[in-house]
Structure 1
Amino acid sequence: MEIEQLHYFKIVATMQHMTRAAEVLSISQPALSKSISNIEHVLGVPLFDREGRSIYLNRFGQLFLQSVNIILDEYERIKEEFEDIIKPGSGEVSFGFIHTLGMEMVPELIATTSKIFPNMQFSLTQATSLNLLKRLEEGAIDLCLSQKIESKVIEIVTEELFVEELFVIVPNTHPLAKRKTIRLEEIKSEPFIAIKKGNSLRQLVDEFFLNEGIELNTTFAAEEMHTVAGFVSAGMGVSLIPNIKGLDDYKVKRLKVDPPCYRSVGVSWAKNRYLPPAAMEFKQYLVDYFQNRKNQTNES
């Protein structure tokens, strides 16, 4: 039984005249009669009493009409709801991002987006890259902003948005604090304050040192960057992190690495999964937003 058949039934039930109903619906009377007969066959009861050319809705038809009105009303509501979802600049985007981007970048991004797309709604998730990967695999989020993530379950596409430099941070009282640049090998014997495993930055930092043949002396693994900065500020060790918001509030010195260390941050999504129009629109906005930032930086 299809929505169109229910609509046909409602018109016939309202007009109680097959010929006139067929004219209103712009179909032939035999086709309309067959549609009504098919409904009656499925339900197993007649819906109309027929007297010559006249038809009258019987008690089964009246009961069925009540249900049909509810179904058709709900169908129209759903259509309107999805029309709003797919309308340009509207709909909900489920968006995840790593912790370090939640301190400044993502709030500014969402605030700017809300001005351009006032009818776009966001469901935001802040998590480690590992947890973002799981949510992307499960289909719980449409997009995520993080370092490149790879899955053994689904194919993920990542488009790079920007690159940020990593710095060695040391306590202000450390002998190395007098320096402006440093090589990674110069801190190989230092106590190292790391980010916990499961974070893509931890994996990247480990790879930087591994490529230099350095085995880190990790004394503590923190949940997030400000804890790392706090431990370094207290003289508990050194670390390698991005220039996070508020880093200058700690008693640490930021040293450029020679050769420089960078991490790439991009927007990722599941390749073969449906991406709602709002998510597609927001994804393109992300690309344009960070390209404009890059252009402004280059000009200055």
Structure 2
Amino acid sequence: MELTHLKYFLEVAKNEHITKSAKNLCIVQPALTKAIHNLENEVGVPLFKSSGRNIKLTPYGQFFYEHLQPLYDEIEKLPQRLRDMANSEVVHVNLNVLAASSLVTSAVIRYKALHPEINFDLIQNESTNLYDVGVTTVAGDARVSPECDACYRFEEEIFLAVPNRDAYKKKDHVSLRQMTGEKFIGLAGTKQLRSICNEFCENLGIRTDISFESDNTSAIKDAVAAGIGVCFWPEFTWGRVERRKIKLLRITDAQFKRDVLVTLRKNKTDNRPTEDFYRFLVTTFARTSSRSRRR
């Protein structure tokens, strides 16, 4: 059955008048009559019967009309739904945040204020590749997935955050071996950074005594300031510390550094919004890193 013939049938069924229907469809009456006859021949039953100067639906026609109308309505909606899908794809950015979540969240908020039409879907999933922009961390020279279309690496030193008290006031560096017996605050919820720090300590033969865990940087700051323990602290992605209460000491036992990776995947037909946010996020990391090193 041709879609055009189904459209003609629905119009005639609605009006029960050939001349009026032909006018509405902007075709000549003989062409419409022929199309209806062709449709009846194809389905094998009469769909209309004469009723004076008008026509009426047969029981077959009524059944056909009732079942065809909702199907045809759905077919007519398909092009717009496809356009809606395309538009939705353009304005959605899928963001996988496995590191520097505070910095990334702040960047998203600022970008959203500039581009309210962009929607963000944030996930934290190490095992998925279904995202547009990813933020992760690795130690050393770990390779980036070849599936990524672009990647920026930012080197970040990891300091030891300690309370700004007499024992540390004159220090700007420290050996972890000197911290034996000191209580450490664990990095709950920051699996990748925690693994990197644990690996550094294991390579040095050092075991940290965890007295408290939190995945909230504000809570960690308060705990360090209160003297509850010390903590490994990334150079710039966790934001500034209140120097009156906390000191960041450089670790001298080894190079305590990690790489923060901002990656891009071109998954869409139109990747311009995704690429624009990716550049914005890279710029945010670069500026924050630069400010941190000037302090």
Query: What TM-score do you get using the length of structure 1 for normalisation?
Result: 0.65
SS of match in other structure, 1:111: helix
In the aligned structure 1, how far is the partner of 2:276 from the partner of 2:68?
A: 43
Q: CA, structure 1 residues 208+37, in 2 after alignment: closer, same or farther (shift >3 Å)?
A: farther
Contact 1:167 1:257 survives alignment (8 Å): yes
Which one has the largest radius of gyration?
A: 2
- For 1:11, give the aligned amino acid: Y
2:166 aligned with 1:168: no
Deviation at 1:66, TM superposition (A): 4.2
Aligned ranges 1:188-199 → 2 under 5 Å: 188-196=180-188, 199=191
2:279 aligned with 1:284: no
Q: CA, structure 1 residues 183+12, in 2 after alignment: closer, same or farther (shift >3 Å)?
A: same
Contact 1:197 1:203 survives alignment (8 Å): no
| 1:234 aligned residue | 226
Q: CA, structure 1 residues 114+171, in 2 after alignment: closer, same or farther (shift >3 Å)?
A: closer
Deviation at 1:206, TM superposition (A): 0.8
Aligned ranges 1:208-219 → 2 under 5 Å: 208-219=200-211
Q: Give the superposed CA RMSD.
A: 4.5
In the aligned structure 1, how far is the partner of 2:12 from the partner of 2:116?
A: 44
SS of match in other structure, 1:146: strand
- For 1:122, give the aligned amino acid: F
Determine what percentage of the aligned residue pairs are the same residue. Answer: 19
2:11 aligned with 1:14: yes
Report Cα offsets for 1:64-101 as digits up to 9, x if no partner.
33443333333443432431342498433343435752
Deviation at 1:209, TM superposition (A): 1.5
In the aligned structure 1, how far is the partner of 2:34 from the partner of 2:205?
A: 84
Deviation at 1:283, TM superposition (A): 3.8
Contact 1:162 1:290 survives alignment (8 Å): no
Q: CA, structure 1 residues 81+165, in 2 after alignment: closer, same or farther (shift >3 Å)?
A: farther
Gaps of 5+ in 2: 139-145
Contact 2:5 2:35 survives alignment (8 Å): no
Deviation at 1:220, TM superposition (A): 2.4
SS of match in other structure, 2:229: coil
| 2:141 aligned residue | none
- Number of matched pairs: 265
SS of match in other structure, 2:227: coil
Which among 147, 151, 158 is matched to residue 159 of structure 1? 151
SS of match in other structure, 2:125: helix
| 1:151 aligned residue | none
In the aligned structure 2, how far is the partner of 1:194 from the partner of 1:298?
A: 27
Deviation at 1:170, TM superposition (A): 0.7
| 1:77 aligned residue | 77
Which among 211, 219, 225 is matched to residue 217 of structure 2? 225
Which among 129, 132, 136 is matched to residue 125 of structure 2? 132
Q: CA, structure 1 residues 47+215, in 2 after alignment: closer, same or farther (shift >3 Å)?
A: farther
Contact 1:85 1:92 survives alignment (8 Å): no
In the aligned structure 2, how far is the partner of 1:264 from the partner of 1:36?
A: 71
- For 1:93, give the aligned amino acid: V
- For 1:215, give the aligned amino acid: R
| 2:143 aligned residue | none
SS of match in other structure, 1:178: coil
In the aligned structure 1, how far is the partner of 2:185 from the partner of 2:260?
A: 22
In the aligned structure 1, how far is the partner of 2:76 from the partner of 2:118?
A: 22
Gaps of 5+ in 1: 126-130, 149-154
In the aligned structure 2, how far is the partner of 1:178 from the partner of 1:256?
A: 13
In the aligned structure 2, how far is the partner of 1:193 from the partner of 1:177?
A: 20
SS of match in other structure, 2:168: helix
2:250 aligned with 1:256: yes
In the aligned structure 2, how far is the partner of 1:229 from the partner of 1:63?
A: 72
SS of match in other structure, 1:264: strand
| 1:65 aligned residue | 65
Query: What TM-score do you get using the length of structure 2 for normalisation?
Result: 0.66
Contact 1:132 1:144 survives alignment (8 Å): no
| 1:180 aligned residue | 172
- For 1:256, give the aligned amino acid: R
Q: CA, structure 1 residues 207+86, in 2 after alignment: closer, same or farther (shift >3 Å)?
A: same
- For 1:119, give the aligned amino acid: E
In the aligned structure 2, how far is the partner of 1:291 from the partner of 1:143?
A: 11
In the aligned structure 2, how far is the partner of 1:60 from the partner of 1:192?
A: 81
Deviation at 1:260, TM superposition (A): 4.3
Contact 1:89 1:281 survives alignment (8 Å): no
